[in-house]
A and B are shown apart, each in its own frame.
Chain A
Amino acid sequence: MSDKRAKTHLHCTVNGKERDNFVADNMLLADYLREELALTGTKIGCDGGECGCCTVLIDGNPQHACLRLAATCQELEIETIEAISNQSRMSAIQRGFHEKLGTQCGFCTPGMIMAAEALLRKNPDPTIDEIRSGLAANICRCTGYIKIIESVQFAVNEMKLESTQK
């Protein structure tokens, strides 16, 4: 069966790479990333912006990829969890989630890390309340959140250490 959906030419940057695709007008950004670009790190956990698993950065701001139409990302810069590690070395936040057991089943982790990444870029030394508020739109059913907050604090300390060593 032919696809009769209205389509738009999308030009955007995903993880530093320019992309040109014809996307269906009703295609969600989460589906574009997962189905068209095979960037399956971005997870889809609920049916509408409640769980935060699909959090990606659009021009540096955290957004839910499941509530954004791909065709509205024209000329924007999108970053997903796949872009967070640096030449196969885990970022400070990723190491935090590993060291402090911020990950259990792992499904919320990409979204949590992207939300934490956005938070720490704007506020490199957040208080516990600021971490809680920065991750408020992300749900985890395993950890009870304490471990996730400790993971972000670990990352903060790592990043401080890295900057003093430079």
Chain B
Amino acid sequence: MEYMPNFKLHRPKSKDEAAQIKNESSDSLFVAGGTDMIVNVRRGIEQPHHLIDLSDIAEVKEISQDKSELVIGSGVTLNSLANSEKIKSDYPAIADAALSIAGSTHQQYGTVGGNLCLDTRCLFYNQSEWWRQSNDYCMKERGEICHVAPGGKRCFAAFSGDLAPAMLVYNAEVKIHGPNGVRQLALQDLYRNDGMNHLTLESNELIASIHLSNNLAGSPSKYEKARIRGSIDFPLAGAAVRLEKENNKIKDITVALTGVNPFPQIIKNTEAMIGMDINEKTLDLLRENVRKQAKPMKTTTVAPWYRRRVVGAIAKRLMHELSVE
């Protein structure tokens, strides 16, 4: 049985209007494509009094290029992102990631901003109202304990967006629009390590655009994820790798993960690999480094140890594929 709360729908025509409505209406939520937010509303996870639909804001639906950067509007659909020639040629991991999100139908209306702001997910959270009620809810929503780590005091729900790791390997920045004006920050600073509240956005702010510097345009990259159903599913674990090489030596490497932490995680210490030969030993070094830093918890039906092994294997495979291309 579904739980559809009564709410008033707002359809602003501009970012300013959206921020203003959000500021004025307490207990309100933004919704863009709705592929995840409407599900959460139907399941009673979110019970807003006001729903602010961003799909009518034309100014955030474009991908544009200027001298120094590529700017992706937050309302660009995943389908348009995946089919953009510029993204496919210059930022291939981002096109891979967009194509891997849910199913092809969802990609028609799911948006870039929505995927970046995707709520963290957990086996005990993304369930119907009666399921959660019969389990006494959980710390993230109405309940008191975390069923993943019952003795703990924090929430481990996993960040499950696919675009964020692919954008992180290109040092993406996000422009944020709020009632007090505009601010721009590194994409990694949009997130914090807290499954309860993983975004650093204020409640009345929204992402206007994503900025990718031209400096890294054309740098080879790939994204891949493990999932239960190949055609449509959230990542059990996913990795994006960007590798530049010179004479079979590593010139630059960045790796970012999703699905294994409450935030999209950039792997540390990869700069120590710069200058090394690309061979089985360095591939294994990356794999072990990724496995050590990934911290999946029992937030899906698949065991954490398996996801940790898989995410290392994906990173190694992607690095190998990039090294032989």
> Are A67 and B231 in touch, CB under 8 angstroms?
no
Q: Which residue of B lies closest to A55 (CB)?
A: B105
Closest to A31 in B: B4
Contact assessment for A63 and B51 in the assembled complex, using a CB-CB cutoff below 8 Å:
no
B86 to chain A: which residues have CB within 8 Å?
A: none
The answer to whether B11 and A137 have CB atoms under 8 Å apart is no
Number of A-B contacts (CB under 8 A): 90
CA distance A32 to B244 in the complex (A): 52
Given the known inter-chain contacts A26-B5, A72-B11, A136-B231, please indicate yes or no for A61 contacting B42, CB distance below 8 A.
no
Q: Tell yes or no: B103 within 8 A of A by CB.
A: yes
Is A49 among interface residues, defined by CB-CB distance under 8 A? Answer: yes
> Which of B98-148 touch A at CB < 8 Å?
102-106, 108-109, 128
Chain B residues near A64: list those with CB within 8 A.
35, 105-106
Please state if B105 and A72 are interface contacts (CB–CB under 8 Å). no
Please report the C-alpha to C-alpha distance between residue A97 and residue B38 in the assembled complex, in whole angstroms.
Answer: 31
Say yes or no for B53: interface residue by CB 8 A criterion. Answer: yes
Proximity string of chain A (124-155) to chain B, C-beta cutoff 8 Å, 1 when within and 0 when not: 00000000111111100000000000000000
Contacting pair B109 A63 (CB below 8 A): yes
Interface size on A, residues (CB 8 A): 32
Which residue of chain A is the closest to B7 with respect to CB atoms?
A: A26
Q: How far is the CA of A136 from the CA of B227 in the complex (A)?
A: 14
Name the residue on A nearest B39 (C-beta): A48
Instruction: Determine if A62 is an interface residue (Cβ-Cβ < 8 Å).
Output: yes
Cβ of A11 under 8 Å from chain B: no
26 A-B pairs (CB sep. < 8 Å): A6-B7, A25-B9, A26-B4, A26-B7, A47-B43, A48-B42, A48-B43, A49-B106, A50-B232, A55-B105, A62-B104, A62-B108, A63-B108, A64-B106, A71-B11, A72-B9, A72-B11, A72-B53, A72-B55, A74-B11, A115-B105, A132-B231, A135-B104, A136-B104, A137-B102, A137-B104
A residues sitting closer than 8 Å to B (CB atoms) are 4-6, 8, 24-26, 28, 47-50, 52, 55, 61-64, 67-69, 71-72, 74, 115, 132-138
